[in-house]
Amino acid sequence: MEREAVCPCRYIDPHSHQLFLFRVSYFERKINLEVFHALTDGLGGMNFLKAWSASICG
């Protein structure tokens, strides 16, 4: 998770040397989840975000 520094919705290159095909960032009280299109659909992304935020917020 990183603080939002640039405009969200940047391209996620699947051939780069990044470890994940998704990005989670935040700005004030907003959380952004950006997912490479082949990884999941909207429902899967929402389920991931709910589970992830529940584990963080406790």
Query: Which domain does 45 fall in, by range?
Result: 2-6+20-57
> Residue 14: inside a domain, yes or no?
no
> Are 15 and 36 a contacting pair, CB within 8 Å?
no
> Residue 52: inside a domain, yes or no?
yes
Q: Helix, strand or coil for residue 43?
A: helix
List pLDDT tens digits, range 1-58.
788 887 778 888 888 867 888 888 999 988 888 998 888 888 999 999 899 889 988 7
For residues 58 and 40, what is the distance between their CA atoms, to the nearest angstrom?
Answer: 25
- Kindly report whether the global pTM for this prediction surpasses the value 0.75: no
Q: Which two tokens stand for residue 54?
A: 């529940």
> Residue 47: inside a domain, yes or no?
yes
> Residue 15: inside a domain, yes or no?
no
Q: How many domains does the chain have?
A: 1
> Residue 11: inside a domain, yes or no?
no
For residues 58 and 50, what is the distance between their CA atoms, to the nearest angstrom?
Answer: 12
Q: What's the pLDDT score for residue 46?
A: 92
> Residue 45: inside a domain, yes or no?
yes
Q: What's the pLDDT score for residue 44?
A: 92
